[in-house]
Amino acid sequence: MSEEKKISWVKQNYVALTTIWIKECTRFLRIWVQTLVPPAITMSLYFVIFGSLIGNRIGQMGGFSYMEFIVPGLIMMSVITSSYSNVSSSFFSAKFQRNIEELLVSPVPTSVIILGYVGGGVARAILIGIMVTLVSLFFVDVKIYSLGIIALTVLLTSTLFATAGLINAVFAKTFDDISVVPTFVLTPLTYLGGVFYSLSLLPEFWQWVSKANPVVYMVNGFRYGFLGVSDVNITLALSLLVGFNVLLFSVAYYLLKTGKGIRS
């Protein structure tokens, strides 16, 4: 392939990627009252109930006030749920309406299609994360230990769950199937992922069991970025996030490339 053709190929794929990404962002921004506001309100209730009311009785956790301790976990929880739900609902809608087939038969590479949809989920997750962080400022002075770790953890986590949402949408047969994984998998993993407590409070056996939960590494990586403390090794946490991203992207690529769950 000549240099001129390479440049043309890159430009075409860039246009395709930005087009899908802008479409996805426009989709959730058009109904921002339904997509951006509810998570902020829900997290506000968590701050009031767990932080202000219950937190005063609990006292300190890991050397910080209980409110300071749970803020990173609550932000991460909103990032996880929003990135997952955005892509799962959007991709399934495209699949249900049969217009995803137009993309699959187009000259757009499969990887570009995945990145476009995932990029929309990441954008929504970051916006909601910022909103929840701003809400938390009304309750506690947010500290930042490492902005780089915060940004990297948010990016890797939102990308991971956005890709997982796409995979869920591929296998889903009805709109009801979209809510199965968030209800029976994501919610338990999130609540048992160290959002509201430190793993050091658990017996040794349950600490090891908890470390089998991938959300533990996401929450603790994010908490390390804010407070500089973590129940797990931060290098291990980031390495696992990168590994899971590569794994899920490969699965999503295979599913779209082969048409599993899409082509009849």
pLDDT digits (tens, 9 = 90+) for 54-89: 777 777 777 788 888 999 999 999 999 999 999 999
Domain boundaries, the chain: 11-258
pLDDT digits (tens, 9 = 90+) for 169-194: 999 888 888 888 888 888 889 888 88
pTM over 0.75: yes
DSSP calls for the chain? --HHHHHHHHHHHHHHHHHHHHHHHHHHHHTHHHHTHHHHHHHHHHIIIIIIIIHHHH-EETTEEHHHHHHHHHHHHHHHHHHHHHHHHHHHHHHHTT-HHHHHTSSS-HHHHHHHHHHHHHHHHHHHHHHHHHHHTTTS----S-HHHHHHHHHHHHHHHHHHHHHHHHH-SSHHHHTHHIIIIIHHHHHTTTSSS-GGGS-HHHHHHHTT-HHHHHHHHHHHHHHS--SS-HHHHHHHHHHHHHHHHHHHHHHHHHTTTT--
